[in-house]
Chains A and B, each alone.
Chain A
Amino acid sequence: MKENVETVNQTLLSFDDLYRLYATDVLRVSYYYLGNREQAEDVTQDVFVRLITNRPVLEQGREKAWLLKVALNRCRDIWRGSWFKKVVLGHPAFELFPAPDEIGTAADRYALAEAVNRLRPEFKEVVLLFYYQGFSVTEIAAMLEIAEGTVSSRLSRARSKLQEELKGEESR
């Protein structure tokens, strides 16, 4: 059967490859978002189970973007669904997991990570994708399905917010 169609370059990576390359990123971004290790692991599980069972069409070079997009969608669902916990019990503590030989180093090294975790979800998403995962504004706009201008303005507001937070920390 001859086909003359525009084709999508499907990923050449197997589940094992994708897990090895990106699962820790998915886990950490989810953890930044939710501040809860168990929930972050659940999100990572959901993302990769979906990868196995649905076998979506993943373009070569866009695998990580897809995994993080699905993870952030799931994080948002959990965040919206946890109204009771957020409002009644307060925001979960953002616990750090340094390597054993890093324990005891100056706490201010981690102030940034904690401040990022305290950002509102819509700011946190763009900061994590831009500064932590290295995606461009255009790529983030496509992933989150928002305008590039919205991504830029959220980044700018997040930067201001973080600056305020970190100044406050220093003066304490």
Chain B
Amino acid sequence: MNKLENLPEVTEQALNGLRADDSLKNRILNAALREEKPSSFSLKSVRLVPVLLSSVALMLLCVFLLNGKKPLLPEGEKNLIRSFSAGSGEVVSVSFGSFAGTDPASVESVELLSSGKVSDRALIAQFLDALKNHSEIVPNDEIVLNDRLNLFDRDGLLFSLPAEAPYVRWADGVRRCESFFEMFGNHPD
């Protein structure tokens, strides 16, 4: 019984009482909901500067909409637990909201299949900034995307998106990200 080959059997006996049960599952689902829930509104949190900044942002948004253009950022994702599902055997675009929430420090490399991979942390931060803050939805949905933009964190592939310079397809549509592709082209690893 002491042979390593017996480890699965020994573990099954020795740790039989240690199981991931429904209470742990509920704990996980609650924790996931807490992480996704925006913090609750409190009068204490109201400060003059944030209010002013929000007003300015709102005004800018109105101006933007009145000009007939779409805002840069779509609505945030809703109810992730319910929407987490299988997929169709092919990588589909992740929503821009989900990508925008990605912590640059957690991304270890950015890859364009056609051009190679970049692992320099400072560059990655610039790339993500370009993708998040200097991209805009383009109306043309007929753009053919033959390349792929992959983001990796320490646990492996994080996002895999259809791309073709200067476009990337997110769930909210095709975005033009000229500065990203320009920077990527100039800084291969």
Q: How far is the CB of A140 from chain B (nearest CB, A)?
A: 14
- In the complex, are the beta carbons of A27 and B158 less than 8 A apart? no
Would you give the shortest CB distance from B9 to chain A, in whole angstroms? Answer: 9
Please report the C-alpha to C-alpha distance between residue A36 and residue B7 in the assembled complex, in whole angstroms.
Answer: 19
List residues of chain B with CB within 8 A of the CB of A48: 28, 32
Question: Distance in Å from the Cβ of B149 to the closest Cβ of chain A?
Answer: 11
A53 and B28 contacting across the interface, CB-CB below 8 Å = no
Task: Report the contact-size class of chain B (Cβ under 8 Å from the partner).
Answer: 35 or more
A69 to B20, CA, bound (A): 18
> Are A28 and B15 also in contact (CB < 8 A) when A1-B142, A56-B156 are?
yes
- Within the assembled complex, what's the spacing in Å between the Cα atoms of A132 and B4? 9
Cβ A113 vs Cβ B87 within 8 A: no
B148 interface neighbour in A5, A69, A110, Cβ under 8 Å:
A5
CB closest residue in chain A, given B86: A12
- Which of these binds chain A: B46-54, B55-63, B88-96, B181-189? B88-96
Instruction: Say which residue of A2, A11, A105 sits within 8 Å of B86 (CB atoms).
Output: A11
Which residues of chain B have C-beta atoms less than 8 A from A99's C-beta? 13, 16-17
Residue A138, interface by CB 8 Å: no
Residues A19 and B20 in contact in the complex (CB < 8 Å), given A8-B157, A45-B27, A108-B2: yes
Question: In the complex, are the beta carbons of B17 and A97 less than 8 A apart?
Answer: yes
Contact B144 A57 (CB under 8 A): no
Q: Determine whether the beta carbon of A14 is less than 8 Å from that of B18.
A: no
CB within 8 Å for A1 and B145 given contacts A73-B154, A109-B14? yes
- Please determine whether A108 and B1 come into contact, CB atoms closer than 8 angstroms: yes
CA distance A130 to B134 in the complex (A): 46
The answer to whether A10 touches B89 (Cβ under 8 A) is: yes
Cα distance, A139 to B85, chains bound together (Å):
26
Which residues from 93 to 131 on chain A have a C-beta closer than 8 Å to any C-beta of chain B? 96-100, 102, 105, 108-113, 116, 127-128, 131
Knowing A28-B18, A41-B24 are in contact, say whether A10-B145 is a contact too (CB < 8 A).
Answer: no
Question: Can you list 8 contacts pairing A with B, beta carbon distance less than 8 Å?
Answer: A3-B146, A6-B148, A10-B88, A19-B20, A31-B15, A60-B89, A98-B16, A109-B14
Q: Which residues of B contact A (CB under 8 A)?
A: 1-8, 10-11, 13-20, 24-25, 27-29, 31-32, 35-36, 80-81, 84-92, 94, 98, 113, 141-148, 154-160, 162, 169
Q: Given known contacts A2-B144, A6-B148, what 14 new A-B pairs fall within 8 Å (CB)?
A: A1-B141, A9-B89, A10-B91, A13-B86, A49-B31, A52-B29, A56-B158, A69-B156, A73-B154, A97-B17, A99-B13, A108-B1, A110-B14, A112-B2
